[in-house]
């Protein structure tokens, strides 16, 4: 049953935490492969092609941040959920800027981990028959989750794609940061509003002058083609 939902790779050097994550993910129907070293995990990602990586920031070999950096440099956009023992905004922001899709701080509930894994994968795969969205020079092919900006293909993480789609689907509508947290991330934690800003900054960097996202100061963001 686990393989039917795909293989999740857990990169964690604390055995009891890795085993707990393995048990809960397997009970939820996922296949699970565990690595305790960043370099070994990098090789295993290429070999196993997991559907998602649960990545501890502090693993030996190369740390989680460097592992994610190398994957993204190789155009590998496997969804990544960072896990860390430090509740540090710098860590969270850096992980998100590198293309991480979510972030959990230890200690956390294993059930919350499983729920967030499911949420990321639902966003990543998406419904297969949705019509494309377009605004200005940006076109989102929702069935294949491809994006074109100014006629060129652009690689986005699953979360970046979903944030862009949420805004482009309602041109001119102003979304507050809490609204975007709720609709894209499935969260309502006001302390995580910086997450939205980081992802918007990443979208602007990737889409360049074609980016349709505008800042509405004091409120949030909107998308338009002006």
List pLDDT tens digits, range 31-56: 899 999 999 999 999 888 898 999 99
Q: Is the dihedral of CA 139, 212, 168, 126 positive or negative?
A: positive
Centroid of chain to Cα 220: 20
User: Average pLDDT of 52-77?
Assistant: 91
Region(s) of the chain under CATH 3.40.50.2300? 2-125
Arithmetic mean of pLDDT, 54-68: 92
pLDDT of residue 2: 33
Architecture of domain 133-223: Orthogonal Bundle (1.10)
User: What is the residue whose two structure tokens read 């989750």?
Assistant: 145
| Residue range(s) occupied by CATH 1.10.10.10 in the chain | 133-223
Regarding predicted confidence, which is higher, 131 or 82?
82
What count of Cα atoms within 13 Å lies in the side-chain half-sphere of residue 144? 8
Question: Tell me, what's the pLDDT at 183?
Answer: 78
Average pLDDT over residues 170-181: 90
Residue with tokens 């496997």: 78
**What's the CA gap between 174 and 192, in Å, rounded?**
19
Instruction: Determine if the peptide bond prior to 107 is cis (ω within 30°).
Output: yes
Q: 177-189 pLDDT, tens per residue? A: 888 887 787 665 6
pLDDT at 111: 92
More confident residue, 122 or 14: 14
- The radius of gyration computed from the CA coordinates of the chain, to the nearest angstrom, equals 17
In percent, the amount of the chain with pLDDT more than 90 equals: 51
CATH number of 2-125: 3.40.50.2300
φ and ψ at 42, to 5 degrees?
Answer: -60, -45
Report the C-alpha gap between 170 and 176 in whole angstroms: 13
Judged against a pLDDT cut of 70, whether residue 105 lies above it is answered with: yes
Higher pLDDT, 191 or 185: 185
DSSP codes, 1-49: -GGGG-EEEEE-S-HHHHHHHHHHHHHTT-EEEEESSHHHHHHHHHHH-
pLDDT for 113: 93
Structure tokens at 63: 């740390």
Q: What integer pLDDT is reported at residue 142 of this predicted model? A: 82
Cα–Cα distance, 164 to 34 (Å, whole number): 32
Decide if 25 contacts 117 (C-beta within 8 A). Answer: yes
Q: Is pLDDT above 50 for 128?
A: no
* Confidence band for 3, pLDDT divided at 50, 70 and 90: very low
Least confident of 97-111, 144-158, 207-221: 97-111
pLDDT, averaged across the chain:
86
Q: Write b or e for each residue in 49-59: b if 16 or more Cβ atoms lie within 10 A of its Cβ, otherwise e.
A: ebbbbbbbbbb
């Amino acid at each position: 049953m686990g393989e039917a939902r795909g293989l999740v790779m857990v990169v964690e050097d604390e055995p009891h935490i890795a085993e707990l994550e393995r048990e809960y993910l397997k009970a939820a129907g996922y296949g699970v492969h565990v690595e305790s070293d960043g370099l070994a995990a990098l090789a295993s990602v290429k070999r196993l092609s997991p559907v998602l990586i649960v990545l501890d920031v502090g693993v030996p070999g190369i740390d989680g941040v460097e592992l994610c950096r190398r994957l993204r440099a190789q155009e590998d956009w496997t969804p990544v959920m960072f896990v860390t023992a430090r509740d540090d905004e710098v860590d969270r922001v850096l992980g998100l800027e590198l293309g991480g899709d979510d972030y959990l701080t230890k200690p956390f509930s294993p059930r919350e981990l499983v729920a967030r894994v499911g949420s990321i994968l639902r966003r990543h795969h998406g419904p297969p028959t949705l019509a494309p969205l377009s605004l200005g020079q940006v076109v989102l092919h929702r069935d294949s989750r491809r994006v074109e900006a100014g006629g060129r293909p652009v690689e986005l993480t699953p979360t970046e794609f979903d944030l862009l789609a949420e805004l482009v689907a309602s041109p001119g509508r102003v979304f507050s940061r809490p609204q975007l947290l709720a609709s894209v991330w499935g969260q309502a934690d006001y302390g995580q509003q910086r997450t939205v800003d980081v992802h918007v900054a990443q979208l602007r960097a990737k889409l360049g002058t074609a980016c349709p996202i505008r800042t509405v100061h004091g409120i949030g963001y909107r998308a338009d083609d002006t």
